[in-house]
Structure 1
Amino acid sequence: MKKSYIYFITLSHMINDSCQSILPALLPLFIYTYGLTLEQAGLLILANTALSSLLQPLLGYVSDKLSEPRLIALGVLLSACSTGAMGLVDSYPALLVCSTMAGVGSAVFHPEGAKIVNRLAGTNKGKAMGTFAIGGSSGFAIGPIFAAAIAYNIGPSGLVAFTVFGLIWSIVLFFMMPRIVNHANTLQHSLAAKNDLPKRELTNNWKYFGLLFLVILAQSVNFRVMNAFIPIFWIRELGASPEQGSFALTVFFTIGIFTTYIGGILADRFGPARTVKWSLLLWLPAAIIFPHSTSMWMAFPAMFCVGVAKALGYSPVVVLGQSYLAKSIGFASGITFGLSMTIGGLVAPLVGKLADAYGLAHALNVLVPFMAIGAIVAFFLKEPEKEY
């Protein structure tokens, strides 16, 4: 197997998600520049996630009917262009438009990206998804620190650098995809030929996928809201500087670069459902502790545990979704890889409104019931059957 193809798609994932991750890091700048409330800041996150949340399952469904892997290149291009435009606009409504289009880019990229990795994975789907997820974690880690360095030191117009690099990479992707797809087809035919037993008929298990969706909802709400408000929490609740807030966000995502891969390996060895349960048992107490943190010494360990838990469960959730909906892998990918990263943003404006009224620390307590429900539901998930 040409593992380099998986690494190539992983790098594309990093570029795409680095564009997606800059908005929370720049929220303090936008709040200062435009005099935004935290509710308005939350609406920027909502704009980035709402249309994306609706589009990703739809595009995944279309992908199952009419596969078009070159949409991966289009997703990177849209994300990069929207990111650069954020540094050039001069009004809050224009920022809302740019945030929305960045979300569309994410919606276009993730279903096809996860689907082609599944086809390239062979029998090591957990490991392959862990590798692919490293790209997303890396992008979310490096995006805020680069965006903050550019916007706070050079000026917002410097974000055009994201557009230039994204444009170049999307062209490379466009011309590489036919070769990658041909290799994926060859690999699947080879695995089927080597299998002594007939390949099992593909079916969709909507019952267990429905349970998994509740887990995804709980994870996404907690992850996206923390992602949106970590820099502001550092500044307002812990008395840190904007640069320290951006650094905290980078640390939050850097944690996942390594543990995401470990989560994939654990899923292959012990089962993806069991790995998801372990991750949520770590996540729940951290979600309770974080809002009550009164110093960085208290906030960092709680944030670290949330980052580890999210990363450990990331690729196992994708493997479970693609296994439960074996006939509709594109749709499952749109939910597990795409929607799971965006749907939580729908709650961000509510948390922002509560934060304006009662303080951010109190508002973050809203996340705890979501996490508790997710942890309970996870124990009803079953391990998938082996494909070969």
Structure 2
Amino acid sequence: METTLTEETKAMASKAAQQTAFSILIALSFTHLLNDTLQSLIPAIYPLVRESLHLNYSQIGLITLTFQMSASLLQPLVGLYTDRKPQPYSLAIGMSFTLLGLISLAFAHSFVMVLVSVCLTGIGSAVFHPEASRLAYMASGGRHGMAQSLFQVGGNAGSSLGPLLAALIIAPLGQFHVIWFSVAALLAIVVMLNISKWYKANTHRLKPKKVVQQLDQSLLPKRTVILSLGILLILVFSKYFYMASMTSYYTFYLIDRFHVSVQSAQVYLFIFLFAVAAGTFIGGPVGDKIGRKYVIWISILGVAPFSLLLPHANLMWTAILSVFIGVILSSAFSAILVYAQELVPGKVGMIAGLFFGLAFGMGGVGSALLGKLADATSITYVYQVCAYLPLIGLLTGFLPDLEKWKKK
């Protein structure tokens, strides 16, 4: 009888723990949605600031570079530090920087002030992403792909909402009305403070160092791990260079080639980014079932036929192709991130910081270089060049099959 009661108690406790973890994942996804909605306002207002401040494409690229580099350079350092010393309340601190950046952006009437504003927002992102990704890993219950996808889909849904909200509010009313979005930042801080309490109470879920060392010994040879990480970083380069062409210049491409209005262009951008959100949600769970290597294969290389057709399509087919590109390409990141975390166990925060940082960095560098290319040639030529980037996905063939190594 006592044994039965003990088993029932354990089962109830296990069920309660799973429900708590799932609620944390939902809350993390929601804060990621708010965080990335606010960040996506930056490229969404590019047409406005380009006109009001008389900027060229190179300066637009420099704004993106400043934002992305402030986010990318700090993220691996934040992840490395918090692997050693977890910081439960860092999420709210990061969002506070984003809040300052938003307020500054609303009042920015010079190119330098715009750069300062996006830099503050980038710092907020650098603090948020590594710790939030670690929290998703902690709350996953072993379903790491699903957890990362749920976390990521919130961010990508937020990224898709930014242009739509900009089209409805900022485009007709003006840049100053960015300040209304500070309410979303305050809401995110409140939710993050509640998540931090769970984080603080559940730090025991992090594996002790002795276990990590044992796991390290059972993985692939060091040379194979380094080579695999190098390939993953190149794949991230391919993905985010192409994503930079879409997030930073897609509205300009549509305006220049098809003569649509700014608001219409932002709606088309929303359609693309919504497809990105859908693809992100699909990628993680599919990776858990069929293997992450296969998802990486499909998501990078599978974009190539659609990216090659895009520069030659009319407006309707451009919108349709952008949906396929968004869904397929975005399914890669969750798979790449979890694959890398399995390559280097015990370094969840550092790996998350490295890959989130590289994603932001590649997006920034790509935006700056593509802006230069657009000024020197044309915005259409940029899309003709970027069409070949997904072919780099062929390198996925050199990645080891982790599932086979786990069985050895």
TM-score scaled by length of structure 2: 0.87
Aligned to 1:287: 307
SS at structure 2 position matched to 1:123: coil
- In structure 2, how many angstroms separate the alpha carbons of the residues matched to 1:4 and 1:360? 44
- The correspondence for 2:109, drawn from 90, 94, 99, is 90
2:396 alignment counterpart = 378
Cα pair 1:15 1:76 within 8 Å, conserved: no
| Residues 138-287 of structure 1 mapped to structure 2, 5 A cutoff | 138-183=157-202, 185=204, 200-201=215-216, 205-287=225-307
Q: Residue 315 of structure 2 aligns to which amino acid in structure 1?
A: M
Match of 2:320 in 1: 301
Amino acid at match of 2:307: A
Deviation at 1:225, TM superposition (A): 2.4
Q: Distance in 2 between matches of 1:116 and 1:153?
A: 39
Q: How does 1:36-55 map to 2 (within 5 A)?
A: 36-55=55-74
Provide the C-alpha distance between the structure 2 equivalents of 1:95 and 1:135, rounded to a whole number of angstroms: 26
> Identity across aligned pairs (percent)?
26
1:292-316 superposed Cα distances (whole Å, 9 cap, x missing partner): 33x2122112211220122221211
- Contact kept? 1:59, 1:108, Cα under 8 Å: yes
Kept in 2, the 8 Å contact 1:351–1:366? The answer is no
For the Cα contact (< 8 Å) 1:81–1:162, is it kept in 2?
no
Match of 2:266, as an amino acid?
S
**1:6 and 1:337 mapped to 2: Cα distance?**
18
Residues 69 and 116 of structure 1 are in contact (CA less than 8 Å); yes or no, is this contact kept in structure 2? no
CA RMSD between the two structures: 2.3
Give the total of aligned pairs. 379
> Which whole-Å CA distance do the structure 1 matches of 2:104 and 2:38 have between them?
11
Q: Letter of the 2:400 partner, please give it.
A: K
Aligned letter for 1:68?
Q
Distance 2:88 2:241 in 1: 29
Q: Distance in 2 between matches of 1:70 and 1:62?
A: 14
Would you say 1:333 and 2:348 are equivalent positions? no
Q: 1:117-161 CA distances to partner (integer Å, 9 max, x unpaired)?
A: 011112211111111111111110111111232212222222112
Contact 1:208 1:381 in 2 (8 A): yes
User: 2:50 — aligned with what?
Assistant: 31
Q: d(CA) in 2 for partners of 1:21 and 1:253?
A: 10
Q: 1:148 to 1:77 in 2, by over 3 A?
A: farther
- Per the TM alignment, residue 81 of structure 1 is displaced from its structure 2 partner at its CA by 2.8
Could you tell which deviates more after superposition, 280-289 or 225-234? 280-289
- Measure, in 2, the Cα distance between the counterparts of 1:325 and 1:186: 18
The residue type equivalent to 1:350 in the other structure is L
Verify the 8 A CA contact 1:119 1:188 in the aligned structure 2.
no
Is 1:11 equivalent to 2:30 in the alignment? Answer: yes
Kindly state the Cα deviation for residue 289 of structure 1 after the two structures are TM-superposed. 2.2
Between the aligned partners of 1:116 and 1:253, the Cα distance in structure 2 is 25
Q: What secondary structure, in the 3-state scheme, does the structure 2 residue paired with 1:379 have?
A: helix
Aligned-pair CA distance for 1:291: 2.9
Matches of 1:10 and 1:364, distance apart in 2: 32
Structure 1 residues 81 and 148, CA gap change in structure 2 (3 angstroms): farther
> Structure 1 177/41 Cα, relative in aligned 2: closer, same or farther at 3 Å?
same
Q: Which moved more, 1:136-145 or 1:342-351?
A: 342-351
1:16, CA displacement in angstroms?
A: 0.8
* Residue of structure 2 aligned with 1:81, choices 100, 103, 107: 100
Task: Deviation per CA, 1:36-77: give whole Å up to 9, x if none.
Answer: 111111111111112222111121111212211321222222
Deviates more, 1:179-188 or 1:302-311: 179-188
- What is the DSSP-based 3-state SS (H/G/I as helix, E as strand, rest coil) of the residue aligned with 2:24? helix
Q: Based on CA coordinates, which of the two structures has the bigger radius of gyration?
A: 2
1: CA distance, partners of 2:356 / 2:328: 16
Relative to structure 1, the CA distance from residue 266 to residue 26 in structure 2 (aligned partners, 3 Å threshold; closer, same or farther) is: same
The aligned counterpart of 1:134 is 153
* C-alpha distance in 2 between matches for 1:131 and 1:17: 14
Q: What's the offset of the Cα at 1:31?
A: 0.9
Contact 2:301 2:391 in 1 (8 A): no
In structure 1, distance between residues paired with 2:99 and 2:304: 34
> Is the alpha carbon distance of 1:40 and 1:314 closer, same or farther for their aligned partners in structure 2, counting shifts above 3 Å?
same
- Match of 2:108, SS state, is coil
What is the rounded CA distance, in whole Å, between the counterparts of 2:138 and 2:181 in structure 1? 29
Letter in 2 for 1:348: S
Gaps of 5+ in 2: 1-17
Please state whether the residue corresponding to 1:29 is helix, strand or coil.
helix
* Secondary structure in structure 2 of the residue aligned to 1:68: coil
Counterpart residue type for residue 299 of structure 1: T
